[in-house]
Amino acid sequence: MQKHIIRIGSRDSKLAVMQTELIIRAVANYHPEIQFELVTMKTTGDMLADRTLDKIGGKGLFVKELNAALSEGRIDCCVHSLKDMPMEENPEFPITALFQRGDPRDVLVLPQTQCFQDMTAQIGSSSFRRQLQLKKLFPSCRCLPVRGNIITRLQKLDSGGFSALVLAGAGLRRAGLSHRISRCFSTEEMIPAAGQGILAVQSRKDETASLFSCIHNTESAYAALAERTFVRALNGDCSSPIAAYAQIHGTELKLTGLYAGEQQQEYAVGSVAGNTEQAAQLGQQLANTLKGRL
């Protein structure tokens, strides 16, 4: 009997493909009757890799082409890193599953032949969220923008362009590059981006949602709801120095957030805790609290 084919879209970077293949393998364990066809494409965010995201329209550029492919029926669903998705969910292309969260931490990556000297460090990071927290950890460091996929960034690092990079630990691990991690920052030292480490499946409205329910992780869903509500309440986007991380223990959710003022000269950090069923309310509550401190 011929298998039913599901076309699943992905950015064409090595990491994006490996993450999509991770989702395919997980779903195939539950649905051996399905044949997945991987469809890769380059997004606007990938093609404009010489400019920082805040100058070219934000992280929504990583989903634009995939949404178009969904709308035109060229793919049936697609996989994203949740942290790269706009905070406002498109009702026509809802998130239908959130995979079990990977390592949420940011990590320090050094050149293969050098040691880190924080007094003279030029650290590659285009994220205002990371830059703000790096200056507290390494007051003498200089943060320089860096774009491109993981392989491109590592090549820039190893060729002498930077003293170090700060990247998402989950991405390096999924790409088989965990050996490049020199230091893992605790989530207290460097509060992650909302949704960091979580993979999201996006589909057309009312289509294929049930297919991916087998991999949907409840803890990821509660964490994502709290973190993304916090960022939305602060009108955050990719150019905003906002961080959010939810830890879940049983039915208890603790949300920690960072919010910087418009001039980014000062920022507030705080936490709130409650039941997982209150995830959205906790995100809103923490946003209101931190706004009141600046």
Tell me the mean pLDDT in the region 61-87. 90
Other C-beta atoms closer than 10 Å to the C-beta of 132 total 20
Indicate whether 56 pLDDT > 50.
no
Distances from the Cα of 64 to the Cα of 93, 98, 283, angstroms: 11, 20, 27
Distance of CA 1 to the CA centre of its chain: 39
Distance of CA 278 to the CA centre of its chain: 23
Q: Tell me the DSSP string of 56-69.
A: HT-GGGGTHHHHHH
Tell me the mean pLDDT in the region 33-43. 91
Residue 60 pLDDT class (50, 70, 90 cuts): low
Indicate whether 125 pLDDT > 90.
yes
Indicate whether 214 pLDDT > 70.
yes
CATH 3.40.190.10 fits 106-184, yes or no: yes
Domain boundaries for CATH 3.40.190.10 within the chain: 1-100+198-216, 106-184
Question: Which positions are annotated as active-site residues?
Answer: 84
Cα 96 to Cα 210: distance, rounded to the nearest angstrom: 8
Indicate whether 53 pLDDT > 70.
no
Contact 224, 205 (CB under 8 A): no
Distances from the Cα of 57 to the Cα of 16, 45, 82, 134, 159, angstroms: 20, 9, 17, 24, 29
Eight-state DSSP code of residue 51: S
pTM of the model: 0.91
Q: In b/e form, how buried is each residue of 191-214, taking b as 16+ CB within 10 angstroms? A: bbbbbbbbbbbbbbeeebbebbee
Q: Edge-to-edge, what's the strand order for the sheet holding 142-144?
A: 142-144, 122-124, 164-168, 106-109, 181-184
Indicate whether 69 pLDDT > 50.
yes
Domain boundaries for CATH 3.30.160.40 within the chain: 217-294
What is the model's pLDDT at position 294?
A: 80
Give the range among 10-19, 92-101, 111-120, 198-207 with minimum mean pLDDT: 111-120
What is the model's pLDDT at position 210?
A: 87
Indicate the CATH number of 1-100+198-216 among 3.30.565.10, 3.30.70.141, 3.40.50.2300, 3.40.190.10. Answer: 3.40.190.10
Contact 72, 56 (CB under 8 A): no
Indicate whether 51 pLDDT > 70.
no
Class of domain 217-294: alpha beta
Mean pLDDT of the chain, nearest integer: 89
Tell me the mean pLDDT in the region 223-236. 95
Mind listing the pLDDT tens digit for each residue in 75-122? 999 999 999 898 888 899 999 999 999 999 999 999 987 665 554 579
Contact 174, 19 (CB under 8 A): yes
What is the model's pLDDT at position 239?
A: 62
What is the model's pLDDT at position 42?
A: 80
Mind listing the pLDDT tens digit for each residue in 155-177? 999 998 899 999 999 999 999 99
Three-class DSSP labels, 142-161: EEECCCCCHHHHHHHHHHHH
Closest CA to 15 of 237, 126, 178: 178
